[in-house]
Amino acid sequence: MYCGAYSEGDGEVELQVAVPDSEGRVMLWEQYQVRPHLPTHLTRVGCWISRAQALKSGPSSLSLVPETGTDADEGLKDTSLAVSGPLGFLKDLPQDLHERSEGLRLLLGAGVLLGPREELASRRGDLDGTTLRCMADDFQPLTIPDYGPAGDYRVTGSFVDIMAILERSLNFTCSWSRPEDRAWGALQPDGTWNGMIGDLMADKGDVIVAISRTLPREEVVDFTLPLLLDRKRPTQTLSSPPLARHILVLRRPGTANSGISWSSYTQEFSSGAWAGAAMMVLFMGSCITLITRYSRSSGGHVPFTESILLILGAACQQGTKQDIQGTAGRIVLLTALLLGTVTYIHYTSFLISALSVNRLLLPFTTLAELTRVDSHQLMVLKSTVQEDVLKLSTNPVYQKAWANIQAGGEWGSVATNDVGFAKVLEGKNVYLTTESEYSYQYGGDSRILALTKEKYIAIFVSVAVTKKSQLKELFDNRL
């Protein structure tokens, strides 16, 4: 008998080779143990049979396929054995070889080795009901935390549903907890990690459910395949990796600030248009003064101040007692009248629309405009990806956004989403959050408005485990 052993994560796997009876078969066994106090699993995974035993099966079930040589009598060098049939292990070799064999086949000298084709993780289907310490926080709708009547911490959500499927598939249970500092995990100046990442590294938990992936985090923990929340069910894809994007949310202008103000009576024209109209009044007033002074048929000189009032009256479609007899003066008055008519029609139509239709007048619609206006306080969730991206990014817009956050002091980085959305409702505060969290928690709240013109900071969301843990391969295989 030959016995070899190697360890893998928290469990131990042993490979045993036994020499059987006179038939000359060598059975390959695999042994693993999830925890030292849990039962040992012994599984038969392969078999080695001699060349003579393989040839007894006959050409109908076993066929030699030479790869570099054609003479089977000269040691069958560099050949492989092709066998068809469903996946399974061989209880009675070689009689049932053609019916129950479908795995790795290697011709080793004077014999044939048949082993499993599956990956190692696919053969680990039973964790013996062990309890995994799972950590999760508020990341709705992926993870929704709550407390039971007895004060026990409970979590629901789409990622918890995925963990429930894995529980049934791998035979384990989850015990839930959240970090004491309520942080997700960020690298601190002293080189340590806070939040759930720090707890995972300190062996205070086994799994973090629903956490975003970053390069610094991937250096200290392992992540499973990225997962995505579909509209109806959570799904996972590899061809197009799933993303979660961030949006800006702020308080919707309400009845106290419905967009109707004194500026509503001047916003029909731009500042340039108003300046042009004023210049036209001054120009035509100057024309009236010059015409009445130097024209013999003008009917009398009109001072400049009275000329301005005369033009304004004509623009407002009002008559005058001033006798303007000359052709040139009458052309100026007619021009002022036409200008006033066109201006009046345009102004009244837009004014009526502005007063009758409640239109939102927003000071900004994008993050770049927010940094330029600088009228609102930007907030992010502390110890998260968005905080790290804004802090370390070389993008000028992100750098200005981070300066805005730092200017807000303790309210720049909030502890929870509930605090962030509550501050949004208080006044001039803007919260940078994921689109899914806003839609699930506050999408039906008419007091909050989401700015979706641009989206920011795409992230991958998955499950994290300790570095080099076998749980990663087990979860990836099932996912």
Q: What is the pLDDT of residues 271-308, one digit of tens each?
A: 888 888 889 888 888 888 888 887 766 667 788 888 88
Taking the model in full, what pTM does it have?
A: 0.61
Query: Mean per-residue pLDDT for 101-107?
Result: 44
Query: Mean per-residue pLDDT for 68-96?
Result: 33
Q: Where are the domains of the chain?
A: 2-118, 130-242+463-478, 262-356, 367-459
Give the highest mean pLDDT range of 70-84, 190-204, 215-229, 264-278: 190-204
Query: 134-150: string of b/e by CB count within 10 Å (b at 16+)?
Result: bbbbbbbbbbbbeeeee
Cβ pair 349, 356 in contact under 8 A? no
Q: How confident is the model over 130-139, as pLDDT tens digits?
A: 899 999 999 9
Q: How many CB atoms lie within 10 A of CB 267?
A: 14
Quote the tokens at residue 416. 């929870």
Q: What is the pLDDT of residue 62?
A: 37
pLDDT at 3 over 80: no
Q: What is the pLDDT of residue 14?
A: 52
Cβ pair 467, 262 in contact under 8 A? no
Q: What is the pLDDT of residue 402?
A: 93
**Which long-range contacts does 39-45 make (Cβ < 8 Å, 24+ apart)?**
39/128, 41/126, 43/123, 44/89, 45/89, 45/115, 45/116, 45/123
Cβ pair 380, 414 in contact under 8 A? yes
- In this chain, the answer to whether the domains covering 130-242+463-478 and 367-459 adopt an identical fold is yes
Question: Helix 304-315 vs helix 271-294: angle between axes, to the nearest 10 degrees?
Answer: 120
Let me know the angle formed at the C-alpha of 123 by 121 and 127, rounded to the nearest 5 degrees: 80
More reliable by pLDDT, 12 or 477:
477
Q: How many CB atoms lie within 10 A of CB 14?
A: 16
Q: What CA–CA distance (Å, rounded) separates 422 from 431?
A: 10
Q: What is the pLDDT of residue 299?
A: 65
Backbone angles phi, psi at 192, to 5 degrees: -90, 170
Return the CATH number of 367-459, one of 3.40.190.10, 3.40.1190.20, 3.90.1150.10, 3.40.50.2300.
3.40.190.10
CATH numeric code, 130-242+463-478: 3.40.190.10
Q: What is the pLDDT of residue 69?
A: 36
Q: What CA–CA distance (Å, rounded) separates 457 from 396?
A: 14
Least confident of 79-88, 286-295, 400-409: 79-88
pLDDT at 155 over 90: yes
Q: In which band, very low, low, confident or very high, does the pLDDT at 422 lie, cut at 50, 70 and 90?
A: very high
Q: What is the pLDDT of residue 117?
A: 62
Adjacent-strand bridge partners of 327: none
Q: How confident is the model over 337-393, as pLDDT tens digits?
A: 888 888 888 888 877 776 676 666 788 899 999 999 888 999 999 888 888 889 888
CATH numeric code, 262-356: 1.10.287
Q: Which helix or strand (DSSP H or E) is residue 210 part of?
A: strand 207-212
Q: What is the pLDDT of residue 420?
A: 92
